[in-house]
Chain A
Amino acid sequence: MFQIYLPIAEMSVNIGMLFGMGAAVGFLSGMFGVGGGFLMTPLLIFSGIPPAVAVSTEANQIVASSVSGALAQWRRRNVDIRLGSVMLIGGILGSIVGVQIVKILREMGQIDLIISLAYVTFLGIIGALMLVESLRAIRRVQRGRPATTRRPGQHNWIHGLPLKMRFMRSKLYISAIPPIVIGAFVGLLAAIMGVGGGFIMVPAMIYLLRVPTSVVVGTSLFQIIFVTAFVTILHSTTNQTVDAVLALVLMIGGAIGAQFGAQAGQKLRAEQLRALLALMVIAVAARLLFGLIVEPDELFSIGPALLD
């Protein structure tokens, strides 16, 4: 079959397999309305791409998928640019720190471990929470009650913070500090894990900032475009780990898959979709954890010595 040589990963892989992976993850991300980075990065690692290259390249791919996602939301006027920009300030700071952490961990030889551990932790927690929540929702629907999760607006400690700003589209008057902190955390994850961070940002915006659900996805995608673009450039200049050939194949596969996934998603119920996604997230976390716990066949590994 058609082999393609990846110039930065320095390996030859089957282009059909790569394209298929991009399309499959794109399909799932279109169906579930998620970015897909948290599925794609582990898949790339499982298929032998060096983890640092997988993370940086995936950040590049997410630029493409979030551009098309954000455009669709923009057409429905669901983007709060002001809120997104404030979060972006944090995102830039977080990704600068994250890329430096990757650089240091690579030199220490611990980057693979930390990437796996970060995935096991976040995917494990989020998968479990999603599963519990969606199973409850399914049970509620079966008892005949509507499956909404909206809570009445209430004031919490977030509203006591200074530096208040008005966000028109979100109909909010809150401190700029929490959006900056959330943005920074997501920027850190984007740099270390190669994810957009929507799976953290969306719940944080809904439950902590009380951003209306309709604006949440568009605004987070808006922020993700710029953070992942920034992360791509930073990884290029600091670690030289962005494989443009790999990214392009994944982007094209992902773009096609996402269109079909979005159609398929409309035929499934929201809470069933969330339960399915939760199971998938838990499976990926379990697979990564398995790789850390079971004694590897080869205890030794070789890497380039990063000498001064």
Chain B
Amino acid sequence: MGRAGSYLVILLLAWFWSAPALAREDIQSDLSARDIKIESNFTGAEIVVFGTVENGTRSSAAGDYDVVVVIRGPDEAIVTRRKQRTLGLWMNRDSQVFRQVPGFYAVLSSRPLDEVASPETLRRHNIGVGSLLQSPDAGAEEVPERDVRAFRDAVIRIMEEDGLYVVDGRGVTFISKSLFRATINLPADVPDGGYLANVYLFRDGKLLSLNQSQLSITKAGFERLIYSTAFDYPLLYGIVAVLVAIAVGLFASTVLRRD
């Protein structure tokens, strides 16, 4: 579906949803794509989250209502390592394992998060990078809290630099009284798996409504074949890799031979 297509859908949905009803304030949303495929020409993707604020009692959604969009990728266990100078060389010394770290995390809001709600409210609903990495693995030795915080900050910093964690306090924009949209850029090395898109409606620091949709990112085509063979049939993968190499070698010494 192209960009024009997504706009058309947005407009249609806006038209349906803006019809008056008697229910309480609610939020409805959808994604421009629900199934993203990573193929050999994958250089990242753009997804648009859009929706409407329904039954708004205020004249305009913009300004009175706050919309927060959180997209969370699949969790994985990671290890963070810190380099220290040892014998003149910078080498990894201490490390910290975190068990549930999303491989992608984007939080976009119509206003900066600290203006939307209190830190406690945000943390209770797992909104914001501050809510991440709260489950450090104790491991063999006891790590001081100060160090755990340094490791946690480092993970968030590195992930933000890689474009895998995104915080945008102006990322959700109202394009009419009740219609909003947010654009999220997925970088090329975005992890594959199941994603959740949570769209929250706040007013005066209180959560009014939540709408959830799912998104899946999968390796497809040739990439998927290579990846799944490498992990599911490693011996076959190794043998084929060697056979291909022998074939290229033979080809080079017969066809390309220039002496």
- Which residues does A use to contact B, with CB under 8 Å? 2-5, 7-8, 10-12, 60-61, 63-69, 71-72, 109-110, 112-113, 117, 229, 232-237, 240, 242, 244-245, 247-248, 251-252, 255-256, 258-260, 262-263, 292-296, 298-307
Contact = CB atoms under 8 A, between A and B. Distances in A.
Contacts of B249: 63-68, 71, 251, 255
Contacts of A252: 248
10 contacts: A4-B41, A117-B89, A229-B245, A232-B242, A233-B239, A240-B234, A242-B237, A299-B83, A300-B83, A301-B80
B231 A240 contact: yes
Given A232-B245, A233-B242, A245-B226, A256 B256 contact: yes
A235 B239 CA distance: 11
A24 B240 CA distance: 26
Interface in B203-259: 219, 222-224, 226-227, 230-231, 234-235, 237-242, 244-246, 248-253, 256-259
Nearest to B249: A67
B25 interface: no
A295 B259 CA distance: 49
Contact of A305 (B79, B239, B245): B79
Nearest to B42: A5
B226 A8 contact: yes
Contacts of A299: 82-84, 90, 154
A232 B237 CA distance: 10
Contacts of A60: 241-242, 245
Contact of B43 (A12, A72, A255): A12
Given A12-B188, A71-B249, A259 B257 contact: yes
Nearest to B230: A240
B84 to A, nearest CB: 8
B242 A262 contact: no
B80 A4 contact: no
A292 B85 CA distance: 9
B38 interface: yes
Interface in B107-153: 137, 151
A85 to B, nearest CB: 18
A259 B249 CA distance: 12
B256 A259 contact: yes
Contact of B223 (A7, A64, A69, A109): A7
A218 to B, nearest CB: 13
A293 B257 CA distance: 44
A242 B238 contact: yes
